[in-house]
Chains A and B, each alone.
Chain A
Amino acid sequence: DAGVIQSPRHEVTEMGQEVTLRCKPISGHNSLFWYRQTMMRGLELLIYFNNNVPIDDSGMPEDRFSAKMPNASFSTLKIQPSEPRDSAVYFCASRIAGVSYNEQFFGPGTRLTVL
């Protein structure tokens, strides 16, 4: 299995631009998570989906952030407009829901730099 796939791996953009991050979960996994990691705030859960349905988006910092999961094999995290403080590494993770002791598998991350 290829694991969780994220694209792009690196993104550099200017303030005000729209940014779209992409994630393909492991085949058969029905829970998907978006995290953000910064030096200051550590690892933060932004939103998660079960069976393509958003369950908890309380970690999404502002309305500028939105996430979708149109099908079981694809999710996007969009920032519009982007700001320098959004610079971080964004991770996607997936797991098989329904079993409490299943671990989450993380993708390699997207390093976002907003100038």
Chain B
Amino acid sequence: AQSVAQPEDQVNVAEGNPLTVKCTYSVSGNPYLFWYVQYPNRGLQFLLKYITGDNLVKGSYGFEAEFNKSQTSFHLKKPSALVSDSALYFCAVRDTGNTPLVFGKGTRLSVIA
């Protein structure tokens, strides 16, 4: 069975500082990994995904994520946080087929000016 863990419910970071939102996964096959962002009163928006190849994936709004197979992690990162990055972030995984994405519980990011 596939699963995703986001160990932090809340991450606080000062504006301009680097940010990391953690995600670990468990799948039986090769993982396809995704990050989504949810702003208040909005639906989930796709940020980026890992398919294969380069372990560093770049996505929207300056976000990137690093795939680490040995640690089964896919942490979301940004070099310099903005107040507007404050939102709820979800990590998700799928291994194969037509199955739905399996989402983590979400991490609330708060960027303080």
Contact = CB atoms under 8 A, between A and B. Distances in A.
- Asked if chains A and B come from one complex, the reply is yes
A86 B52 CA distance: 40
Contacts of B106: 42-43
A33 B100 contact: yes
B contact residues, range: 20 to 34
A70 interface: no
A109 B100 contact: no
Q: Main secondary structure on chain B at its contact with chain A?
A: loop
Contacts of B94: 100-101
B77 to A, nearest CB: 19
Interface in B75-102: 90, 94-98, 100-101
Given A43-B103, A50-B98, A100 B46 contact: no
A98 B105 contact: no
B49 A31 contact: no
A107 interface: yes
